[in-house]
């Protein structure tokens, strides 16, 4: 069976031929050994160091069909040479890929927030659209730059939306409804090449502004994942708050965690996450970020709390050390990290900044968010007078 996509304007088709992929048919026999492996690694994925998004990997059998990605028969010879799974992957893909693990397991959820975004809207969904449009603008410079405050849908955001709608044949009403949302998401995926081997990746994460949705027991959407992540990190520092299951479903244990947080913050403990609770969650979380790493027990180490998007390579770069040094200090046997995990990091040689090479898709705003600093701080450290960046440019990024 082949699903035809070329006649829809794409440069690929999707097939279930085992020359290209391992096709699963429900009800057919499967090998028990394969079942055990899938149960063990189903929540692991490949990503580039310093990025959150999964790295696009392709597969073919390597004999009747060849491709840029993984080859079935080539992997056998590498395994027989004693290479580890990560070493085998790095034989086909860039050397900075890593195997990451997520404990946030959800059913399929839609990205559309459920209500249109328009002038006056605020929150993480607005910030997401602003980030996407600013990136798309690099390929479609007719779209005006967005100068509104992050997460606030003002006049410049509306102007960018209208121009985008005009370019792509949508009703130019300046409102981000479902069709505009998914068209923007589709174009962002295309220009950032998120589905390609040379993907730029993305690091928006939870953003810097709270969602504007109201969550209660029974809610099930991407904002629940954000809520559970925030509560999980905060619970590491406030023992009275139970750590909720990070499953994307607002169940009873999430409600109990919300109530405990509301009581601690002297809010109405109704178990419903509205604007006041969202603001308190973000304020508390950002306060934690600003105060870690904390001084460690040794004079030459600090304690670092792993955040979404972190990797051992990024942390090593940030604190002028090596991945092997961090692994040795913490007794780690692989490169997998968990959000909220506390690492000891060698800090005797910590520099006030790291050197960063500008890549396609980078902006000062994105770099500031990624490294927990500000655009002005980066500009001042590098003597920049504008926000323009060039691919290959070396920047000094301040670190705390």
Q: What are the pLDDT digits (tens) for 314-345?
A: 777 667 778 888 888 888 887 777 767 788 88
Tokens of 335: 């490169």
pLDDT for 296 equals 41
Tokens of 26: 């429900």
From residue 309, give the alpha-carbon distance in Å to each of 100, 134, 206, 365. 10, 21, 10, 16
The whole-number average pLDDT for the span 62-79 is 73
Tokens of 226: 């954000």
Q: How far apart are CA 13 and CA 42, in angstroms?
A: 25
Q: How far apart are CA 288 and CA 339, in angstroms?
A: 14
Tokens of 156: 């410049």
Q: How far apart are CA 344 and CA 327, in angstroms?
A: 9
pLDDT for 78 equals 84
pLDDT for 5 equals 58
% of the chain at pLDDT higher than 90? 16
Instruction: Tell me the pLDDT of the chain averaged across its residues.
Output: 78
% of the chain at pLDDT higher than 70? 75
Q: Helix, strand or coil for residue 221?
A: coil
pLDDT for 263 equals 92
Q: How far apart are CA 184 and CA 139, in angstroms?
A: 13
The whole-number average pLDDT for the span 128-152 is 87
* H-run or E-run covering 281: helix 275-291
Higher pLDDT, 227 or 290: 227
HEC secondary structure over 294-353: EECCCCCEEEEECCCCCCHHHHHHHCCCCHHHHHHHHCCCCCCCCCCCEEEEECCCCCCE
* H-run or E-run covering 135: helix 124-136
Q: Which of 230, 227, 238 is nearest to 273 (CA)?
A: 227
59-60 and 70-71 beta bridge pairing: parallel
294-295 and 301-305 beta bridge pairing: antiparallel
Tokens of 24: 């699963």
Tokens of 186: 């589709």
pLDDT at 294 over 50: no
Q: Who's near 103: CB < 8 A, 6+ residues apart? A: 43, 246, 338, 339
Angle formed at CA 329 by CA 323 and CA 334, multiple of 5 degrees: 50
The whole-number average pLDDT for the span 139-143 is 88
Q: Look up the pTM and report it.
A: 0.45
pLDDT at 168 over 80: yes
DSSP code of 273?
Answer: B
pLDDT for 293 equals 43
């Amino acid at each position: 069976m082949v699903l035809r996509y070329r006649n829809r304007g794409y440069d690929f088709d999707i097939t279930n031929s085992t020359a290209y992929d391992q096709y699963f048919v429900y009800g057919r026999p499967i090998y028990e050994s394969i079942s055990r492996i899938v149960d063990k690694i189903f929540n692991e994925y490949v990503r580039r160091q310093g990025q959150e998004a999964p790295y696009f990997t392709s597969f073919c059998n390597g004999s009747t069909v060849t491709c840029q990605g993984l080859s079935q028969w080539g992997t056998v010879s590498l395994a027989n040479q004693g290479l580890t799974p990560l070493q085998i992957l790095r034989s086909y893909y860039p050397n900075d890929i890593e195997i990451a693990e997520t404990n946030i397991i959800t059913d399929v959820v839609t990205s559309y927030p459920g209500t249109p975004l328009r002038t006056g809207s605020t929150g993480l969904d607005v910030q997401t659209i602003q980030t996407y449009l600013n990136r798309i603008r690099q390929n479609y410079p007719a779209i005006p730059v967005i100068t509104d405050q992050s997460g606030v849908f003002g006049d410049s955001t509306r102007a960018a939306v209208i121009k985008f709608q005009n370019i792509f044949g949508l009703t130019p009403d300046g409102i981000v409804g479902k069709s505009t949302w998914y068209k923007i998401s589709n174009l962002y995926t295309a220009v950032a090449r998120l589905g390609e081997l040379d993907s730029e990746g993305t690091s928006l994460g939870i953003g810097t502004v709270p969602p504007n949705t109201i969550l209660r027991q029974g809610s099930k959407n991407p904002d629940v994942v954000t809520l559970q992540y925030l509560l999980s990190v905060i619970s590491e520092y406030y023992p009275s708050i139970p750590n909720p299951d990070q499953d994307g479903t607002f169940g009873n244990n999430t409600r109990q965690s919300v109530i405990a947080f509301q009581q601690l913050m002297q809010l109405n403990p109704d178990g419903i996450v509205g604007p006041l609770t969202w603001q308190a969650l973000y304020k508390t979380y950002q306060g934690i970020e600003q105060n870690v790493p904390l001084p460690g027990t040794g004079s030459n180490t600090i304690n670092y709390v792993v955040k979404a998007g972190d990797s051992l390579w990024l942390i090593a770069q940030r604190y002028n050390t090596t991945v092997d040094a961090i692994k040795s200090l913490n007794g780690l046997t692989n490169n997998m990290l968990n959000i909220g995990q506390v690492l000891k990091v060698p800090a005797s040689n910590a520099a006030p900044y790291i050197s960063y090479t500008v890549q396609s898709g980078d902006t000062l705003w994105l770099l500031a968010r990624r490294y927990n600093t500000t655009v002005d701080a980066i500009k001042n450290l590098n003597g920049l007078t504008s926000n323009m960046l060039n691919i290959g440019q070396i920047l000094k990024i301040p670190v705390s």
